[in-house]
């Protein structure tokens, strides 16, 4: 088996930064060692993605227990799941097996594990305190963390392709010169505060707060824990952020812009051939 240094060169990622400080500075430096071990096994990149999802689900499930030790084990499993989330891409680059299906599996895993993490931690906090509001806040965070605004946008684009013979949905009528919000956001560094509300940084915040609650319990007034503050903040702000995103997609004609970008990109690719 080749050295870690040689492996790093082979699996180096050329894409833009994730704008997630711990991901870019720490996790990528750790994941290579896990990738090195996984390459000693017959597991594939997609198999690693599935493993990451299983580890994440188990970790999230452990958050429902009132015992902080079990919660800490759960959050550490979620962290391990994220490391594996990096490993699947590294294995794919090593074997040159990157695929659309791999990206799809990866995103499906996120849509399962992330909401489950939010809801399960609220169940654990409810069991510790008996306060039903924490359960409701966790459900709110889990539900509104789902990217149904983006899913609806691309489902609408699918309809436009399927009904392209309808004059109302023709490309010539819908095309626009403006850049979509999604494209702009993909190339712009988000604010530090916004980053904290995005996975994996939201998981890192929760990890820190869980450890502090475990080691320094009941130091906040009104017997509030740091996890409960997390649920209050996320359960309140995440719904507003998702509703704002829906408003911007609707009012900014983002579907038409994204539809135009997809067709223009396809034309550029075909013209190069």
DSSP 204-233: HHHHHHHHHHHHSTT-SGGG--HHHHHHHH
pLDDT for res 1 = 67
> In this structure, what is the dihedral angle of CA atoms 238, 242, 244, 249, given to the nearest 10 degrees?
160
Comparing CA positions, the residue from 72, 58, 22 lying closest to residue 202 is 22
Q: How is 122-188 classified by DSSP, letter by letter?
A: HHHHHHHH--HHHHHHHHHHHHHHS-HHHHHHHHHHHHHHHTTTSGGG-HHHH--SSPPHHHHHHHS
pLDDT for res 151 = 96
Cβ distance 230 to 206 under 8 Å?
A: yes
pLDDT for res 220 = 82
Give the tens place of pLDDT for each residue, 202-238. 999 999 999 999 999 877 887 899 999 999 999 999 9
Local confidence band at 256 (pLDDT 50, 70, 90 cut-offs): very high
Cis amide bond preceding 200, omega within 30: yes
pLDDT of 17 > 60? The answer is no
Highest-confidence range of 73-77, 182-186, 221-225, by mean pLDDT? 73-77
pLDDT of 50 > 90? The answer is yes
pLDDT for res 131 = 96
Round to whole Å and give the CA distance between 88 and 81.
11
**4-146+177-252 maps to CATH 2.40.30.170:** no
pLDDT for res 61 = 99
Round to whole Å and give the CA distance between 241 and 236.
9
Highest-confidence range of 16-20, 118-122, 170-174, by mean pLDDT? 118-122
Q: Domain ranges for the chain, please list them.
A: 4-146+177-252
For residues 54-58, average pLDDT: 99
Total residue length of the chain: 273
pLDDT for res 273 = 64
> In this structure, what is the dihedral angle of CA atoms 142, 147, 149, 153, given to the nearest 10 degrees?
-160
Pick the more confident residue, 110 or 191: 110
Pick the more confident residue, 169 or 151: 151
Round to whole Å and give the CA distance between 252 and 12.
37
Local confidence band at 193 (pLDDT 50, 70, 90 cut-offs): confident
Buried b (16+ CB within 10 A) or exposed e, 44-60: bbbebbbbbbebbbbbb
pLDDT of 74 > 70? The answer is yes
Pick the more confident residue, 169 or 210: 210
Angle between helices 254-272 and 226-251 (to 10 degrees): 70
């Amino acid at each position: 088996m080749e050295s870690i240094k040689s492996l790093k060169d082979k699996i180096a990622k050329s894409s833009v930064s994730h704008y997630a400080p711990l991901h870019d500075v720490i996790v990528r430096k750790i994941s290579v060692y896990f990738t090195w071990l996984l390459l000693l096994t017959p597991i594939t990149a997609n198999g690693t993605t599935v493993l990451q999802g299983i580890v994440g689900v188990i970790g999230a499930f452990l958050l429902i227990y009132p015992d902080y030790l079990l919660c800490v084990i759960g959050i550490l499993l979620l962290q391990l799941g994220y490391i594996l989330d990096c490993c699947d891409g590294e294995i794919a680059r090593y074997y040159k097996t990157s695929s659309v299906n791999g990206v799809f599996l990866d995103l499906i895993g996120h849509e399962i594990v992330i909401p489950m993490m939010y809801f399960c931690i609220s169940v654990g906090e409810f069991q510790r305190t008996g306060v039903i509001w924490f359960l409701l806040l966790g459900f709110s965070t889990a539900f509104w963390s789902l990217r149904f605004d983006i899913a609806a946008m691309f489902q609408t684009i699918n309809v436009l392709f399927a009904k392209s013979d309808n004059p109302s949905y023709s490309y010539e009528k819908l095309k626009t010169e403006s850049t979509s919000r999604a494209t702009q956001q993909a190339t712009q560094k988000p604010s530090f505060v916004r980053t904290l509300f995005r996975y994996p940084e939201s998981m890192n915040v929760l990890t820190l707060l869980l450890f502090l609650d475990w080691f320094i319990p009941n130091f906040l007034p009104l017997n509030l824990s740091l996890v409960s503050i997390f649920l209050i903040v996320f359960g309140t702000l995440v719904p507003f952020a998702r509703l704002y995103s829906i408003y911007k997609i609707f009012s900014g004609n983002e579907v038409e812009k994204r539809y135009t970008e997809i067709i223009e990109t396809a034309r550029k690719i075909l013209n190069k051939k």
